[in-house]
Every structure is written in C-alpha cells, then in structure tokens.
Amino acid sequence: MKKQARKAAKSRAKRSSVAKSSKVTAKTKAAKTAKPSPRKKTAPAKSAVPAVPVSDGKLSFNHAMIYSKDVERGLRFYRDLLGFKLIEDFRYEDKPVYARLRAPGGDGTIALHQAGPGASLSSEGVRLYFEVGALDDFCRKLIQKGFYITQMPRMMPWGWRHAYLNDPDGHEISLYWAGENRWKKSVMQAVRQVAKK
C-alpha cells in the first residue's frame, strides 16, 4: 500500500514538473518573439515592513527599541514632529502599544514600545543620533511647533554640528550634520586636548 502511494506521488510530481517546464518554455518563446513595449522608468516600490535580511552568519542591526510611557505621545513626536513614517503598529483596546517607524531620509527604523507600569525609562549612557543636512532650519521648525531644544545647533570640538533635545519620555537625542568633517579624525584631537588639562 505504501509503495503504491509513493509511486502515485512520484508520478504526480513528474507530471507537474513537465507541465511547469512546458509553460516556462512557451513563455520564453513568446518573450523572444514579442516586441518590447516602451516602459516608464519608475522607482522600485518599498515594502511597508523592512525585508527580512538573509542570514549569512553575520550580525546586522535591526532597529532601536524605545520604551515609552505613552506610545501615542511618542508617535506625535517621532512621526509628526521629526517626520518618521509609521510602518507597523499594534493596538490594545484601540490604544497604540507598539509602533515601528522608518526614518524619513533612509532605511533606519525605531520601535516605540509601551513600558510597564513603574518601569524606569532612564537612558543614561544611550543617545539616539539622527542626521539632517539643513540642521538649523530643522531645529527652527521644531521650535515653531512648540518643541524645546536643550542645545541649539553649534559646532562641536570634533568638527560636527550638533543640537540636543529629549523626546517626551526623556530619551536623549542628537540631531547633527557631519558635513565636510565626516571622516576627519578630529575626535582624537579633542580627547588629547581634554587629557592635557
């Protein structure tokens, strides 16, 4: 009985394979004889959720998780003020408790996650960095929308222009522009100067 079932399965698989290959051959012939139609150049579509990276045994950065007392308030900051695009969210009783967002100028993502009651949101030792070319204009627009910036843009000892602020949960954020000094090793010069004092 088992042998008959195996033979029947092999026979079905062989028939399916032959049918598929004849369809592919017919499509290939049709494609070779058909005249190419003019096409408009369009940018490739981006999926709403980032593709799963191929696992090649190497570590890849996925996203930064930001714990929040109020995910809706966090969304208003990251999406509405900073311009991040919402790509995924999860709601409980129609209230957002998780949201994944993509940076407006790249593929980097962050996730806002509802913090548990009484959880500490202290982020000492961790700061989020977002780069923007028109840093001064960007900061002015934030101020016009009523947001407080703890340090307006200024040139730092390592040669990059930085502004500092905190998100609604107190997480530190640096908005910066590296400009021409992006690859200069001025950080070590600043460290040496500090060490001399």
Q: What percent of the chain has pLDDT above 70?
A: 65
| For the chain, domain boundaries | 62-116, 126-184
- pLDDT at site 43: 39
- Torsion sign over Cα 9, 15, 18, 24: negative
pLDDT digits (tens, 9 = 90+) for 139-191: 999 999 999 999 999 999 888 899 999 999 999 999 999 988 887 655 556 56
Contacts of 70 (CB under 8 A, 6+ apart): 168, 169
- pLDDT at site 115: 93
- pLDDT at site 98: 96
| DSSP β-ladder status, 127-131 and 172-177 | parallel
Decide if pLDDT at 104 tops 50. yes
Q: What is the third-level CATH fold of 126-184?
A: 3.30.720
- CATH superfamily to which 62-116 belongs: 2,3-Dihydroxybiphenyl 1,2-Dioxygenase, domain 1 (3.10.180.10)
pLDDT digits (tens, 9 = 90+) for 125-143: 789 999 999 999 999 999 9
Decide if pLDDT at 61 tops 60. yes
- pLDDT at site 189: 61
- pLDDT at site 191: 61
Determine the average pLDDT of the residues in 55-72: 86
Mean pLDDT of the chain: 77
The pTM of the full predicted model, rounded to 2 decimals, is 0.63
Determine the average pLDDT of the residues in 18-24: 43
Query: Do 163 and 143 form a contact (C-beta atoms < 8 A)?
Result: no
- pLDDT at site 109: 95
